[in-house]
Structure 1
Amino acid sequence: MNAEPWTALEFEARLRAVPEAHYHHRHPFNLRMHRGELSPEEIRRWILNRFHYQRNIPIKDALILAKLETPELRRIWIRRIQDHDGRRAGEGGIERWLRLGEAAGLDRKVLLSGEGVLPGVRFAVEGYVNLCRLGTPLEAVAASLTELFAPDLMRTRIDAFERHYTWLDPAGLQYFRSRISQGRQDSGEALGLVIEWARGRADQERALAALSRKCDVLWALLDAVDQAS
């Protein structure tokens, strides 16, 4: 016998509860970062490895875009690719992350080369890209809902860097600042789509599972960086 679907309010509460419990804002590495306990070497290692995730964001979004069947939906989602790739050279989230690396003393050529990216990070990022490649549109969009918690994490991170890591050029923090408003917009749009699409209990549970898996990806990425420290 099929279970009754949750109401929209119940489903939203369950979606929000997944990153509340499992998002990487609770990871020991992030907690140490925000307490100011990381060395410059650890900060640079995190920036370098996280860049491997950043550069794959527009790739996974292009895979999602290809699954969307209407111009209205594609117009919503294509903005995400533009936000990361920029509308022209020298703009966008990837460029801002490269500038964060430079502010921390990393050569952008090293970041772009992929040298030094940990195997665990590669494996985690590949898992997320494949989720978006092979999953349903519902699952792929639901996985992006970790962004519900991104704005608060960005505020915490900016405060931590300005307070504890004064050796890093503050101009490099623009990526975090830009993600406060972008994350709020992106997560609001995605949340509306997931609630609209997941009408049956089975689809609702698939969405929750995809979001949980995305949390696992982010957690595994930090596990690899933390263990390398």
Structure 2
Amino acid sequence: MRKIIRAGNSAYPDMVNTKILVGQVVISFFTVLFMMLVFAYNWIKLNRAMSLIEESDKLSMALLQQEVMGQNIPALSGESIFELLELWGVILVGVRAIYEISSLVYRQFILQLTTVSFLSPTLNHKFTEIYNTTHGFKYISMLTALLLGAFITGIFLHDRKLKAAALILISLFMLSIVLIGMQTITIGSYSIGIVWSSLIFHLTETLGLVSLGIYLRKKYIGL
């Protein structure tokens, strides 16, 4: 799809392609809007459910929950689930919105850098190195928020695996910025530059979040 869109402008990276930018902005807008509606709906639903329970009954329900599910399965209180819902709402809606805006600012920087590199042959060979080094800063705020959310969730649930996974991923991300250069692969006549910091981020925000949801759903019945 990108090969078709960037036809006639193959010398420039996809980030500075206006058609690709418009598509990404539209998709990002509806993604953030959808997540906001999902969190708002679940916040209202949970708040309504909690308002139906008297304070005096909460302890009895907690003891019943522990008796039914067993003491070996961690279960969160309604208040704790409420706090986690707010935490992930801020991350996936608030921080995501900031990330989208900062991505547009970073695009302007790359556009200016690309123009300079093509006008000055002496700087052209440095473009890839600069692009790879600075690209990680585009993702670091959002990735840090995601992994901080996973780490705090691990603290709530006393889950060492979640905390360890968050630390490993942020370590790999930092190593990719500092030590690993940009790799280029060619598929037919189409060259694709792989920025490893970008790859780690996108895998974390897609497969990582899906895996986190499945893991929590299976292991923590009360969640």
Q: TM-score, normalised by structure 2?
A: 0.31
TM-score (norm 1): 0.31
Higher relative contact order (CA 8 A, sep 6+): 1
Of Structure 1 and Structure 2, the greater strand share is in 2
